[in-house]
Structure 1
Amino acid sequence: MTKTNSGRFFEDYKIGQVIRHAVPRTVAEGERALYHALYPARHALYSSDEFAADCGLDGSPIDDLIAFHTVFGKTVPDISLNAVANLGYAEGRWLRPVMPGDTLRAQSEVIGLKQNSNGKSGVVYVRTQGLNQVGEPVLDYVRWVMVRKRDPDAAAPETVVPDLADAVAAEDLIVPDGLSFADYDFELAGESHRLGDYEIDEKIDHVDGVTIEEAEHMLATRLWQNTAKVHFDATNREDGKRLIYGGHVISMARALSFNGLANAQMMVALNAGAHANPCFAGDTIRAWSEVLDKAETSAPGVGAIRLRLVATKGDSANFPLKGEDGKYLPEVLLDLDYWALIPV
């Protein structure tokens, strides 16, 4: 009897199936320090207990994307160990800050299945929830993944494709208890730009770039306990390359966006996302953002800004995205739509 785990294949998933993922993970200041070493992350709310306290919080939370990657990593052995590609995200919300010392676990429900026409793989839709040590949800999101079939001749399941919202409505955004930007220190935050300084449809070139290194992306992926074979095993792909974890690209682009969006402090919703093209070691990531929407919240001095964050390899100054055929240009790596909290 085999004791090793070969992962689930497409025919192993059933609509309504709930999977409790191993292994709970306690996150602490070490994760923050290593995250800031891997990415040029400088948002003040996640860098300073004093700055966070002045904004009404008990201290500096763990970066939103640390929470996301940690929860995501829990799901990989059950959802995407045999994935061909992670295809997209929707309806994601951060529900409460994760503080140093919190323990995170994850569970997912299968909400959609669609076999591909080649009969060799299919798309699995899951809604994943991250929970802390007292069972409070800290985030939830939907993602869909293309997963290989174990047996190409296995019968196709009934097609179920969930009806997903294009974006999280502004009134459904969760502002952390006590958060206030009424006495926000723009000088210490690094920029003077408020919500009113941004215009819908405005595009911001974040200027800076970072070349992806093999060792760094593998270190990051191990940090999140992401076991997907394509990120580590160079024999898993015909081209002999390790695929960069898409979350590594998300974090790098978000960190680069500090230059121009230093006051877009907290990510509170993930509306949509696509890993448009594969990223490999040696690629230089640059980023630009487009302002999609703006909203007020009931918290003192706190507004919300909806942003499209695009990561490219090579030059980003011309804001490339899609060609005349409607497909992503080959230099586009990431197209991410999210809400962040920003001073008004």
Structure 2
Amino acid sequence: MTQDSKAAKTNPGNFFEDFAIGQVLTHATPRTVTEGERAMYTALYPARFALWSSDEFARASGLPRSPMEDLVAFHIAFGKTVPDVSLNAVANLGYAELKWLAPVYPGDTISTSSEVIGLKQNSNGKTGVVYVRSTAVNQSGTPVLSWVRWVMVKKRNVDAPAPETVLPELAKVVPVEDLVIPEGLTFENYDFAAAGEPHRWGDYEVGERIDHVDGVTVEEAEHMLATRLWQNTAKVHFNAQVRGDGTRLIYGGHVISMARALSFNGLANAQMMVAINAGSHVAPCLSGDTIYAWSEVLEKADTPAPGVGAIRLRLVAVKDDPTPKPLRGEDGKYTPGVLLDLDFWALMPK
């Protein structure tokens, strides 16, 4: 057997020129979710939302038992896509039209597939941006999560011709009527003492800004544990020799989960994320950075579920300096230190 034939058995990951509009990627390694994921998630992030912590609280809210943390489902489904979409990524750039379509419970098995819906080569000729729409389903084929993301990917050959530019039209906000409310969910008998805060949907005003006060320093060991747990094998997260500065880039989802957990202080009753309208990883996060977070109320809406209101929030993660600052400067650019800008819908008791 020649060395070439041996090498052909390995997978170097897709480069920019390997993607084509309409291409469907069926991602390997379905993942059965266990209670271990819940325990590990709580160990990695200071997550305290009652719906994910207590079967009794979940049953009082009309669910059969406590579902998995919404972002656990996201991390697992996202991780499936990495070997085919972003193994050779420079950076994951953003999200849109992300919807949780059904709760995920321990014992469910998640599988993911993606369709390429956009391509644009960058002006440097060395990289390009790939847009994919991904869908995760459970063992019954029921969709549990769908989203669009775009990622900057290296080219294998800088002389390869640029593809025709195709940029997908994406909704800026998931319409309220498209939010999927879990069957049976009710907050009519909501236990505010158990949840940890007294603030209802009606206590928040559009334009209000909530400083979540607390900060968490990102540790290298925890980040590496998280990326392995979610089977996210992107080289920039695993291999310190890939980046020129010799550091490993902290997985963007790690920042999302950390900021969401920090938001408990002030938004403890924003129990369930049901959609992400838009999200940008504004700047890289590295081991040793300390993450702080604040939220802004963007919109409020009624839902058909008893006692349940929808609240649209902007969650912003910043590093090292907790001093409140504007999100953007007068030039329209993000203020230095901003790591994450996430626009999402959550469900809250009325």
- TM-score band by shorter chain is over 0.9
Runs of 4+ with >3 A deviation? none
Q: Which residue of 1 aligns with 2:294?
A: 288
Which residue does 1:138 correspond to in 2?
144
Which letter maps to 2:247? K
Task: Give me the whole-angstrom Cα distance separating, in 2, the residues matched to 1:118 and 1:202.
Answer: 41
Aligned to 2:340: 334
Residues 34-86 of structure 1: per-residue CA shift (max 9 Å, x gap): 00010000000000000000000000000000000000000000000001111
Shift of 1:331: 0.5
Q: State the match for 2:327 in structure 1.
A: 321
Deviations 1:152-206 (A, max 9, x none): 1111111100010101011110000000000000010000111110000100000
Equivalent residue number for residue 200 of structure 1: 206
Amino acid in the other structure paired with 2:156: R
Whole-Å separation in 1 of the counterparts to 2:98 and 2:210? 24
User: If the length of structure 2 is used for normalisation, what is the TM-score?
Assistant: 0.97
For structure 1, the residue ranges without an aligned partner over 5 or more in a row are: none
Are positions 1:83 and 2:94 aligned together? no
The answer as to 2:16 corresponding to 1:10 is: yes
Query: For residue 64 of structure 1, what is the aligned residue in structure 2?
Result: 70
Q: 1:121 offset after TM fit, Å? A: 0.9
Give the Å deviation of 1:27: 0.7
Matched, 1:169 2:175: yes
Structure 2 portions without partners, runs of 5+: none
Which residue does 2:131 correspond to in 1? Answer: 125
Aligned pairs for 1:207-222 (under 5 A) are 207-222=213-228
Displacement, 1:323?
1.9
- More off after superposition, 320-329 vs 300-309: 320-329
In the aligned structure 1, how far is the partner of 2:241 from the partner of 2:321? 31
Q: Deviations over 1:208-233 (max 9, x none)?
A: 00000000000011000000011111
Distance 2:310 2:344 in 1: 10
Q: Does 1:23 align with 2:29?
A: yes
Matched AA of 1:245: Y
In structure 2, the residue corresponding to 1:22 is in which secondary structure?
coil
Q: CA RMSD of the aligned region, Å?
A: 0.7
C-alpha contact 1:288 1:316 (8 A) present in aligned 2: no
SS at match of 1:6: coil
Distance 1:147 1:238 in 2: 16
What's the TM-score once normalised by structure 1's chain length? 0.99
Equivalent position SS for 1:235: coil
2:284 is equivalent to residue 278 of structure 1: yes
Structure 2: distance between partners of 1:222 and 1:178 = 34
Tell me how far apart the structure 2 counterparts of residues 317 and 190 of structure 1 sit (CA, whole Å).
Answer: 25
1:227 equivalent to 2:233? Answer yes
**Within 1, Cα distance between the matches of 2:345 and 2:128?**
30
Secondary structure at the aligned position of 1:234 is classed as coil
Deviation at 1:327, TM superposition (A): 1.5
Q: How many residues align?
A: 344
Letter in 1 for 2:22: G
Of the three residues 285, 288, 309, the one matched with 1:303 is 309
Tell me the equivalent position of 2:47: 41
Cα offset, 1:319, TM superposition: 3.6
Deviations 1:301-343 (A, max 9, x none): 0010000000001233414422222121220000000000000
Specify the code of the residue in structure 1 equivalent to 2:179: L
Q: 1:254 is matched with which residue?
A: 260
